[in-house]
Structure 1
C-alpha cells in the first residue's frame, strides 16, 4: 500500500483527499496528535520518543501530511508479502520470506510489551500505521489521523 512513503527527509501520508474533503473531515485538529518511535537502546530495551506530522501540503489536487523521516516498511506490506509467499497454502514449515520477517514480528511484540510496561500509550493504528525499520525500530503513526485519512 503506497499511502505511506519516505521521500527524502520526510515521511509522507497521502490522504487521497481534496482540500475540501480534508477540511470537511476536520483532520487538521489532530495534526499534533502523537505517534511514537520505538528504538532499542544499548541494553536492548525499547525507548520511546514522540513523533507527529508537522506539515500539510497540497500535491496535485490531493492533501499530503508529512513528518520527520522514518525508513521502513509498513506491517501491512510485510503481512501481505508473507501471505503472498505462502501461495494461499497453510504453512506447516516456514518459507524464506516468513523466516525473514519472524524477527520483525518478535521485535514488534517486545516493543508493544515494553510500551505497556513503561505506560506509553502507543496509537492503535493497525498494520497500516506501524512502520517497521530494518534495525528493529518501529514507528507507530497517530491513529486518528491515519484512520480518517485512509477511510
Structure 2
C-alpha cells in the first residue's frame, strides 16, 4: 500500500457537507483506507476574490490504486458531487487534488506529483501539518520548514 495525501476544497453548495461527503466517498474507494483527516479550515480564494471563502482540508490515505487510477476515482467523486469548472481558480462544489503519492515524483500530462504549487499554499500546508507534521517531501524538504516560510496565515479552523 502507498500513502497518499489528498487536498479537499469547496466553496459552493454547503462546503462542509461537500467535504464530508467526499471523505465518505474516499473511504469507499476500492483497496483504499482513510487514515486521518485534518481540521477543516476557512480560507480566502486563491483566484478571483468575487467568490465565497473556501473550506479546505487534507486527508491521508493508504491505497493500492495507481496514481492515474486514484486521479480517475477522485475526479469521479468530484463529478458525482456536481463539480462544474466555470473558470480557472473559480468557485467549485468540490476540488480534490493528489498532493503526494508515496515518495513518487510524477510528471504526466494529467498529473503532477508532488502537486505543482503546494509549497506556496497555506490552505494545503497548514492542514497537512495537522496530520503529518514530520513529513519529508520527495525533494527532501521538511514540511515544517515549508510551514515556517509561509509565515502567518488568515485561515480559521472550523
Give the TM-score, by structure 2 length: 0.26
Task: Flag the structure with larger Rg.
Answer: 1
TM-score normalised over the length of structure 1? 0.26
